[in-house]
Amino acid sequence: MSPRKLALAVAAALALLVALAYSNSLDNGFHLDDVYGIQENPAIRDLANVPRFFSDPYTLTTRSLNADWRPLLQVTYALDYAIGGLEPRAWRLTQLALHWIVCVGVFALGRVLLGTGRVREVTGLAEREGDAIAAAAAALFAVHPLASGAANYAWARSTLLVAVFALPATVLWLRSLRPGAGRGPWLGALACFTLALLVKAEALSIALVFGAADLLLARRLRWRALAPVALLCVAYLALRVAILPSELRAYHEAGPANRWEYLLTQTRVWWRYASLVPAPLGLVADDTAYPISRSLAEPRVLLALAGWLAVALLVLRAAPVAALLALSFALHLSPHSSLIPLAEMHNEHRPYLAASGLFVLAAWGSWVGLRALFARPRGPALALLVAALGACGLLTRERNLVWRDEFTLWQDTVEKTPLSARAQMNFGVELQKRGEHEQAELCFARAVALAPGYPYAHVNYAIELRRRGAIDASNFHYDEAVRVAPRDPVGPIWRARVREQSGDLVGARADWQRVLELEPNNAEARARLSALSAP
């Protein structure tokens, strides 16, 4: 079979595998930040707003504190809305199409490193064997539960889109290492890198992978090739500084841990991410209860560091191609899982791109092991692959059911992370919608106890307390929502509504004014202030 025909056959097979693994997810709804960024976001409802996506970070979401600069991501949202409105199936098909493209990218990555036309000779591995390894890795990635978070969650499309451009960029960069390659692959890599940067900041890791590829495979840094990459990184960072207000940049880097604590915790989280490739169990959509490490002397931190030191020593002794695949895992995790503290220590969809190289490495290692055990390893390898595809596909279909709606998602999250205040609060909201008020109030009480500084928990607890007539207790929690999070508009918004209902118009006006200070474009606050000021 010619290389072109093989690529087309693998792409078709990957499309079939994605369809089989995710056929029960097509009617899954919107979740989590989808509410603010998609369902309630007026900016994506008119393609005329596309130019604003490149200059106004507040068009990303209706929640101003979550604003960011991701223009190309928003363009895809606007296109989806133009095609199908808020019909979930249309959005789901886009997610799955993007996942399929990434799977093809995994195959291309494995092939350029191990298969036909590879950029560097791999001792003891024929090119046809490399092609088969690349196809197996891509097939496993297509149906693996590790990808289910990114594939099911529309707000995680940023992760999908970065991967859509990152893998071709890497493949083209590797092709540019071939003697006589010309400028075409290099220019293609730069173009893909630029597009990835227009999606999300985590795309900066692609530049690090470019440098690692030069060092490991070309045995030198190609400064002339890398200089435009560095200039793109500098220009991107300067643009972010110019577009994002300083207080917004500070908020994005504010979490429950400082930089040092976040880094210490990530030494353990990285093991969690790596373990998901062979054992994709215990996936959770929103893990805000992951234990934070505060000291280098913690035994679990020392154990994690010792493990990574052992991995580093193995990588140094490994073949250059294997070293690149292993190193790319760490490099792609570094933008969001190292020194910039985020709200969640651990997130289900973060390792999506980073793990792509591990699938190629795992498939390669499995083939080498089987070849050492069996005189004719093709049969056992095929049996193992079919078993792995079946098991992973079933686990993914099971995970799809968790993403069916908000109730199933938060029920699963509470069961797995009962100490998460956000999970308790959101599950309480879903119980509230079902009329299960007593259970909802218990969830809100737990959320407040777990995180006294969480304004959303106080607001929802106050709503439920007022429903059953505990007015004083309700007012206390509305006041607490404002006090504990003075930069978050949720507290003054809800307290203003309650004050209006109870006749405290002076207090309501003060709260609505505070909302406008925090969110100058808040339409409700403007309307209510205008109404309250009318004679």
Rounded to whole angstroms, how far apart are CA atoms 361 and 359? 5
User: Exposed (0-12), middle (13-18) or buried (19+): which is 493, by Cβ within 10 Å?
Assistant: buried
Rounded to whole angstroms, how far apart are CA atoms 77 and 91? 9
Per-position b or e across 217-230, b if 16+ CB within 10 A of its CB: bbeeebeebeeebe
Rounded to whole angstroms, how far apart are CA atoms 28 and 151? 11
- Which one, of 118, 108, 177, lies nearest residue 359 by Cα? 108
The pLDDT, as a whole number, for residue 248 is 59
Q: What are the structural domains of the chain?
A: 3-30+86-402 (no CATH), 406-533 (1.25.40.10)
Distances (CA, A) of 479 to 448, 515, 522: 13, 14, 21
Q: Which residues pair with 346 in a beta bridge?
A: 287
Q: Which residues in the chain land under pLDDT 50?
A: 252-253
Rounded to whole angstroms, how far apart are CA atoms 154 and 91? 7
What sign results for the dihedral spanned by CA atoms 372, 374, 377, 381? negative
Strand, coil or helix: 455: helix
The pLDDT, as a whole number, for residue 528 is 87
- Tokens 């004679």 correspond to what residue? 535
The DSSP symbol for 435 reads: T
Tell me the two tokens of residue 224: 């002339």
Rounded to whole angstroms, how far apart are CA atoms 498 and 511? 10
Rounded to whole angstroms, how far apart are CA atoms 496 and 505? 9
Show the 3-state SS of 290-317: CCCCCCCCCHHHHHHHHHHHHHHHHHHH
pLDDT tens for each residue of 321-341: 999 999 999 999 999 888 888
Rounded to whole angstroms, how far apart are CA atoms 330 and 310? 14
DSSP string computed for 340-389: S--S-SB-TTTTTTTTHHHHHHHHHHHHHHHHHH-SSTHHHHHHHHHHHH
- Which one, of 337, 467, 348, lies nearest residue 417 by Cα? 348
The pLDDT, as a whole number, for residue 474 is 93
DSSP string computed for 139-196: HHHHH-GGGHHHHH-GGGHHHHHHHHHHHHHHHHHHHTTSTT--SHHHHHHHHHHHHH
Per-position b or e across 116-155, b if 16+ CB within 10 A of its CB: bebbbebeebebebbbbbbbbbbbbbbbbbbbbbbbbbbb
Tell me the two tokens of residue 245: 């207000």
Tell me the two tokens of residue 328: 């790319």
The pLDDT, as a whole number, for residue 255 is 61
Q: Residue type at 108? A: A
The pLDDT, as a whole number, for residue 252 is 47
The pLDDT, as a whole number, for residue 535 is 63
Q: Which run of H or E residues covers position 402? A: helix 378-402
Reported residue count of the chain is 535
pLDDT tens for each residue of 144-198: 999 999 999 999 999 999 999 999 999 999 999 998 888 999 999 999 999 999 9
* Cβ atoms 477, 458 nearer than 8 A: yes
User: Exposed (0-12), middle (13-18) or buried (19+): which is 47, by Cβ within 10 Å?
Assistant: exposed
pLDDT tens for each residue of 86-130: 999 999 999 999 999 999 999 999 999 999 989 988 888 999 999
